[in-house]
Amino acid sequence: MRFFPSLAAVPADFGPSAVAIGKFDGVHSGHRAVITALGLAAAEQSLTATIVTFDRHPLALLRPESCPDPLLSNAQKIERLAETGVDATLMVEFDRAFSEQSPEEFVQRILVDTLHARLVFVGSDFRFGARGAGTVALLSELGAAAGFEVRLIDDVVATGARRASSTWVRELLAEGRVDEATGVLGHEPTIRAVVVHGLQRGRELGYPTANLSPAIEGYIPADGVYAAWITVDGTRHGAAVSIGNNPTFEGIPDKQVEAHVLDASLDLYDKTVELSFVRYIRGMRKFSGMDALAVQMSADERDIRLILGYPPRA
């Protein structure tokens, strides 16, 4: 996939293209269905299948108090989009100047002058230009004059009657329902960070843990203990993950993320690791002491090994 971090980075001879526009937060199953349709249509017309997305949620600039936490960092989003097989992604900086351009300027600058679009996919609620003045009807009108076709994207229903959405994924993760979030996303919810030095209390209990830096990429699920996979240097291992302040001890950060790697002794300090969540095991609670906590951790590990298909601990 070709990635363009700005309009200026797109070569003058780019395209002609088929374009899908959106935030693509999470790159969930609904997004992937759109990208599949985009790719098929692009192939039929010998166009370059192109995603247009933004470097932040528009609300981060326009109403930051109402802006939801992102499901993915920009780097993670680019990687997920590359996995879909799309030809190119343009990430536009959503700054004040961009937010104030008219719908006509948006179409001319991005779709016509930069991407040489011939086909544009949007959702029925798509809005563009200053104060969301641009509608799908206006886009179709402008497209007819500029030489591109507009196609509406149908909602993708993940389960029941609810459409796949980033909002739904956030709701599930906020409740620890990571397995259900996987169903909506089409992939396991994943966070990424550098491993830093901790207080080594897990080591004292026989469960050494990798402590993640607070600078975490991705949406952190609800506090609790999880079965997960940890990926380091391209290799994936089973892991027991704890999220929260561990109320048995004092002075632990509110959102400390720790991972105990199963059946492997790894030096992870200063390495970037990914945690992919599989199943919620239990909530965080305070124990009477380290012995009671150790007993519970042993029970947690038995459950996690069963879920991940690992043999019982020797």
Q: How many CB atoms lie within 10 A of CB 265?
A: 6
What would the mean pLDDT of 81-107 be, rounded to a whole number?
A: 95
Are 278 and 179 contacting, i.e. CB atoms less than 8 angstroms apart? Answer: yes
β 224-232/235-244 pair status: antiparallel
- Domain(s) of CATH 3.40.50.620: residues in the chain: 2-162
Q: Which CATH number fits domain 189-308: 2.40.30.30, 3.40.50.1000, 3.30.470.30, 3.30.70.20?
A: 2.40.30.30
Which of 29-33, 119-123, 202-206, 289-293 is predicted with the least confidence, judged by mean pLDDT? 202-206
Which of residues 23 and 253 earns the better pLDDT score?
A: 23
Q: What is the mean pLDDT of the chain?
A: 90
Q: Is the dihedral of CA 246, 247, 249, 253 positive or negative?
A: positive
The answer to whether the predicted template modeling score (pTM) of the entire model surpasses 0.85 is yes
- Token representation of residue 38: 């985009």
Picking from 199, 10, 237, the residue whose alpha carbon sits closest to that of residue 113 is 10
Which of residues 204 and 143 earns the better pLDDT score?
A: 143
SS3 8: helix
For residue 65, give the DSSP letter: G
- Token representation of residue 82: 């590359």
pLDDT given at position 243? 95
Q: Compute the distance between CA of residue 278 and CA of residue 179 in angstroms, rounded to an integer.
A: 6
Which of residues 97 and 253 earns the better pLDDT score?
A: 97
User: Tens digit of pLDDT for each residue in 141-160?
Assistant: 999 999 999 998 876 665 56
User: Tens digit of pLDDT for each residue in 236-275?
Assistant: 999 999 999 765 555 555 689 999 999 988 889 999 999 9
pLDDT given at position 217? 97
CA 95 to chain centre: 21
Q: How many CB atoms lie within 10 A of CB 284?
A: 15
Whether CATH 3.40.50.620 fits 2-162: yes
- Domain(s) of CATH 2.40.30.30: residues in the chain: 189-308
Q: Does residue 194 have a pLDDT over 80? A: yes
